[in-house]
Amino acid sequence: LVDNDPRIVRDDYTNSGFCFLFDNDPTSFESACDTGYESENNQFTGNVEWDINENHTFTFSGGYQEVTVSQRIDWLTVGAEIRTQDYDSEAVMLEGLLNSVLLDGNLDLVSGINYYSEESDEFSSVLRNNSTNEMADTRDIYGDTFDRDALGIFSQGVYHFPNGQSNMTLGLRYTSEDTGAILREWESGDFNISGWKECSTASSVGGGGIVVRDPNCMVTIPGAESYSEVDWKFGFDHDVNDNLMVFASASKAYRAGAFSHTASPTIDPSNISIAATDAEKVVNLEAGIRSEWNDNRFRLNFTYFDMDFTDRQGPRLVASGDSAQVIIVNRGDVDISGWELDGNLAVTDNLSVFASFGFTDARLANPSPPGDVNLGGIPEFSYNLGGNYSTQLGGGELSINLNYTWQDERHSTAGIGREDTHIQSSFGLLNGNIQYVFGDDREWTAALSGSNLTDESYGLAELRFGRFFMGSPRGTANFMQLADRGAPRMIFGKISRAF
């Protein structure tokens, strides 16, 4: 192999078709080399509303969701590995809301209680050929169960001052959550537990030459954690005049901890336990203006925000031997601040133009570990420019929209351990839409839309890794870079009729 070998790096959207699982002939394929993705989502929701009287309305809503995902992926992209991942989840949500108008209409109050329960099962295994006998073996075989039950009680009110120009918002929420996990890992090519548990070390050959060990030899590690937290919100807004409103708010929120599969070949059998990450908390401060000028033909808004996270949760790529997995960890405290500016101008009765700009400064404070200094996926600058044109034409209405969005380069992975930081390139996308509404009652709509009209090649998410998998023939470290590409140019049309 050479850097950017054309047999592997074919183009921005095509993976190589190699299969090296059971021999060194890249043109021979077995069913074990097949990749694919299947998902199914069933969801049922309903709600009942009761107007108690002119001041009180009660709403009860509930829902059930079932999600099943099955995928087989070549994570290394060179045909030497297949990862099987199956996921099943069931969730139930129940909520009761009481909306009230009090104090002669000066206070809008919403109070309620909600309940959320979810249980999910995940199964994963890796089939990899990294042996001298050209025989793939199965490793990283684990099946995990996660469950979460959360109960929330909340109330939020907006008080309208008698002057008709000012409003104050106050809110409180109490949440109690119980979360648990059962991690199961079977003995396999890279996970040897026979030293402390009665397991058969004899190998058996399965279909296609897959080498496995005792399928009944398994480690089970349970874990559980409980959380309770009080969140709050305070806000105030004031109409300076008919054209200008100023506002400020402060709020606190939290996210319960999460479990990850952290079993490893070095597991200590005398202390088999797991723990969830610490809860993530954030305090958000926000202030700004909303304004309309020139008979509401020009709108200008500005917002400043400052978010302080404590124990922010995030993914980390962890390597152990020749295996790697992504787990959720507390990465440290995070400070995020910035501003957003947007405006809209009605140039004529038919033409309007708009623009928005954003700046974000994101920093890791006291990171864990200390060398993990980068935050992924947050561009520093971004903007959006565009316009809308509409006119009456042939008894119908024709409208044309065009917009261009751009975002700055951003970190993708953190510079820790054996993996180097990677910076994703900036990119901009041009999108457009032409729509014609017609008919006696304007019941017909014909539309032609296009996204990424300039056919930009860009990465939604990118990962640079692989020094522990590959060695360069020049004697220096080599890398793999995986990119989840955004869609290329897409043109699609629609004709619909409203009845």
Beta-ladder partners of 109? 100, 157
Mean pLDDT computed over 343-354: 96
What's CA 106's distance to the chain center, in Å?
A: 39
Q: What is the pLDDT of residue 320?
A: 59
pLDDT in tens, 387-441: 999 999 988 999 999 999 999 998 875 544 444 567 788 999 999 999 999 998 8
Lookup result for tokens 């993976």? 15
452 and 491 Cβ atoms separated by less than 8 Å = no
pLDDT in tens, 85-94: 999 999 999 9
Listed in sequence order, the residues at least 6 apart from 104 whose beta carbon sits closer than 8 Å to its beta carbon are none
pLDDT in tens, 203-248: 544 444 445 566 677 788 889 999 999 999 999 999 999 999 999 9
Asked if pLDDT for residue 496 goes beyond 50, the answer is: yes
State how far the Cα of 264 lies from the Cα of 214, in Å rounded to an integer: 18
Q: What is the pLDDT of residue 471?
A: 47
**Rg of the chain (C-alpha set):** 28
Listed in sequence order, the residues at least 6 apart from 308 whose beta carbon sits closer than 8 Å to its beta carbon are 282, 283, 333, 334, 335
Decide the pairing of beta strands 137-160 and 166-186: antiparallel
Mean pLDDT computed over 134-145: 80
113 and 152 Cβ atoms separated by less than 8 Å = yes
Mean pLDDT computed over 59-64: 97
Q: What is the pLDDT of residue 190?
A: 63
Q: Which residue has the higher pLDDT, 58 or 373?
A: 58
Q: What is the pLDDT of residue 199?
A: 67
Residues of 426-450 as b/e, b for ≥16 C-beta within 10 angstroms?
ebbbbbbebbbbeeeeeeebeeeeb
Confidence band for 499, pLDDT divided at 50, 70 and 90: confident
Q: What is the pLDDT of residue 27?
A: 76
Asked if pLDDT for residue 477 goes beyond 90, the answer is: no
Q: Which residue has the higher pLDDT, 30 or 332?
A: 332
State how far the Cα of 281 lies from the Cα of 442, in Å rounded to an integer: 50
Specify the DSSP element, H or E, that contains 88.
strand 81-102
Residues of 103-117 as b/e, b for ≥16 C-beta within 10 angstroms?
eeeeebbbebebebe
Q: What is the pLDDT of residue 210?
A: 45
In the DSSP assignment, the letter for residue 163 is: T
Listed in sequence order, the residues at least 6 apart from 492 whose beta carbon sits closer than 8 Å to its beta carbon are 448, 449, 450
In the DSSP assignment, the letter for residue 314 is: E
Q: What is the pLDDT of residue 411?
A: 80
Q: What is the pLDDT of residue 188?
A: 72
Q: Which amino acid is residue 191, in one-letter code?
A: F
For the entire predicted model, the pTM comes to: 0.81
